Amino acid sequence: MPLVVVGISVLVLLVLMTKLRLNGFAALLLVAVGVGLVQGIGPEKIPDVLAEGIGDQIGDTMLTIGLGAMVGRVMGDSGAAQRIAGRLLEVCGPRWVQVAMVLTAMLIGVTMFYEVAFVIIVPIAFTLVRVTRANLLWVGLPMSIALSTMHSFLPPHPGPTAVAATFHASVGLTLFYGLFIAVPIGATIALLWPRLPFVRAMNPSIPKGLVSERVFDEMPGMGWSLSVALLPVVLIAGAAVTDLAASGDSGPLHFVAFIGSAPIALLLTLLVAIWAFGPRIGRSLAEVSTSCKEAAQAMAMILLVIGAGGAFKNVLVEGGISDYIKDATDGWSISPIVLAWLIAAILRVALGSATVAVVTASGVALPLLAGSGVHPEVMVLAVSCGSIAFSHVNDPGFWMFKEYFNLSVLDAIKARTTYTTVLAILGLGGVLVLEQVLDALAV
190 burial type by CB count under 10 A (0-12 exposed, 13-18 middle, 19+ buried): buried
**pLDDT at res. 367:** 67
Q: Give which of 310, 275, 333 is closest to 399, Cα–Cα.
A: 310
Identify the H or E element spanning 242: helix 222-245
Identify the H or E element spanning 148: helix 136-153
Where would I find the beta strands (DSSP E) of 267-426? none
CA–CA distances in Å: residue 376 to residues 6, 360, 363, 373, 438: 32, 16, 13, 9, 12
Residue at 26: amino acid letter: A
Instruction: Report DSSP state, residue 195.
Output: G
Q: Give which of 424, 340, 342 is closest to 388, Cα–Cα.
A: 424
Three-class SS of residue 100? helix
Residue stretches of the chain with pLDDT short of 50: none
Instruction: Taking the CA atoms of 205, 211, 217 and 220 in sequence, report the sign of the dihedral they define.
Output: negative
Calpha distance 187→182 (Å, rounded):
8
With beta carbons less than 8 A apart as the criterion, state whether 144 and 185 touch: no
With beta carbons less than 8 A apart as the criterion, state whether 388 and 423 touch: yes
The verdict on pTM exceeding 0.85 is no
Q: pLDDT (tens digit, 9 = 90+) per residue, 267-313? A: 999 999 999 999 998 889 999 999 888 878 777 777 787 788 778 77
**pLDDT at res. 411:** 95
Q: Give which of 223, 224, 229, 233 is closest to 283, Cα–Cα.
A: 224
285 alpha carbon, distance to own chain's centre: 32
Calpha distance 168→189 (Å, rounded):
31
Calpha distance 189→217 (Å, rounded):
36
